[in-house]
Structure 1
């Protein structure tokens, strides 16, 4: 798909195409977290139709940018619709090779999660203490735990450290912005979904102070994941291909300004449009040579052998 976008001189230096642009991006430290992603820019494939540890639909993605790994969440094999809240966590190389897995029993649905690198290891931030509505399970707290290949955790495991930054919140998930080391938490406040953003260090210290707290816009469609970068949060919505959703599908990315609560851009994504099934699932921020990528996950394949693909955008405005 070709996009016709008006680009300023400043924006041209950020396009991420060509040697000069790549060098400019590499020289720009990710911690600056300047600008926002151009959602109408084309997407590039990172991994294409890769198997995860279990065969169920991909739910969400996150990146260990220090150690060069991708993590994914999905409903555990044999857990049906996910009402029990049992999840499979896969660790992948950047080319999609399976490097390990964990099982998380009773945690929730896995809509989104975060990765906190620690030396050569990684700590995962996920929902936990899932509550079932008979069809699916949704977490009521956040949990931090170290990735240990082959380990199975329950909600009472001593390996977990639990957090609840907002006492009366429900349906709680999180993502980590690697450019600012902030934790973005999506939660239900009784009347709608909101995003609260904290310093990750403050959350870990037990003294979370919200830097931002804004409402999620209404009418976005079926929610499938989110990612935070700088002053913006990006929301993924849409459903799998079907009779009522033929190609190119109803996958959209929406950008929300965390400072004002304003929806600043919304655009259809046709990334991976040739996939069968093609269900949007999860977002994440990858950092490559200091340059950020806005990534989205797509599930494909037949019900008993689902596959995962990831695409990314690099253009900032």
Structure 2
């Protein structure tokens, strides 16, 4: 990835105010500008503008210690903001034999294959349905797009084994169908390869802004690309923004909302330097227009939970009539193997980034 070229393009966009351009020839100072639409310029700029969640606010509890389809740790979750459902993904538990399989499969084999369990919950965390996804990946982050009453899941897919786990190499869209078992080659799945040569692909949907954010690894480094969701569905893969992942601890999930990207990191008590009751769970806020870290806060919610491993971020739009009212939600796994439980907390105060920075640094 030529980051210098990307910075030059970004600087040029700001200088001329155009979305589409031809080339900048450095040293010769030849600049040619293609025709552009003023409406498309405003659409791009507006998409990456928003207020920022105040990460230092005390968090509220949404879901407390609920069982999922399997007893493994939740990996990530996402909201169906229309039908008010939560979708949670986890590594498929060992000791199961699904239809079409010749024997019981171990948990280690499920992990290596990238086999996932997907659970549909109501907003109180009660189980409504499930799916099994074979050969998809590790489930680091998922997204939901709602069309009418149908929830379409966006996930990684085409898992490739690295170390002891399977990881996705592109992203996929498919409808939720209770009780369905999908493989990575099932006809219901529509796949998209947004960045050639990328792997470790995971995805989040910003329903309020109509954006899709993909985390991916290329040339050994992680990046985040932001795209217009409808353009991806037309197989047009031009990013609105593409920023590097800042230095974080153990990565556990991400979500974008307007112009900001939120990153979750941390470990369960007793590992990776996490000590009860404080732990080492942090959320970092990144400006998607610049890649700059704007805020990073220690998260102490759920400090009485056993185990308490941070897992997944999601944006919940609580009022369809006022989509700017949102909650930044984050998950924790609790309890003990083989009966891990799911917990979700949230913060919901939004302010301009300048107000947050000024209040913390008078």
Normalising by structure 1, report the TM-score. Answer: 0.88
Q: Aligned-pair distance for 1:123?
A: 0.4
Shift of residue 32, structure 1, vs aligned partner: 9.6
* Compared CA separation, residues 160 and 235, structure 1 to 2 (3 A): same
Cα deviations across residues 202-225 of structure 1 (Å, max 9, x unaligned)?
10100121000000002x100000
| 2:127 equivalent to 1:98 | yes
The Cα shift of 1:33 comes to 6.2
- Alpha carbons 2:88, 2:118 under 8 Å: kept: yes
Q: Report deviation, 1:139.
A: 0.2
Is 1:241 equivalent to 2:269 in the alignment? yes
Give distance in 2, aligned partners of 1:163 and 1:297: 27
Which position in structure 1 is the counterpart of 2:88?
72
Report the number of matched residues.
286
1:178 aligns with 2:194: no
> How many angstroms apart in 2 are the aligned matches of 1:38 and 1:175?
20
Quote the residue 1:273 is aligned against. 303
Among 255, 276, 291, which residue is 1:261 paired with?
Answer: 291
Bigger proportion of residues as helix: 2
- The CA deviation string for residues 78-112 of structure 1, in whole angstroms up to 9 with x for no partner, is 15241110000000000011000000001000000
CA contact (8 A) 2:50 2:260 kept: no
Q: Once superposed, what is the RMSD of the aligned Cα atoms? A: 1.2
Q: 4+ residue runs of structure 1 moved beyond 6 angstroms?
A: none
Is 1:309 matched up with 2:339? no
Distance 2:292 2:274 in 1: 28
After the TM superposition, which residues 21-170 of structure 1 pair with which residues of structure 2 at under 5 Å, given as runs? 34-78=50-94, 79-81=106-108, 82-170=111-199
Tell me the CA shift for residue 266 of structure 1. Answer: 0.4
Q: Which residue of 1 aligns with 2:333?
A: 299
Match of 2:40 in 1: none
Greater Rg, structure 1 or structure 2?
2
Structure 1 residue ranges without an equivalent (≥5):
1-30
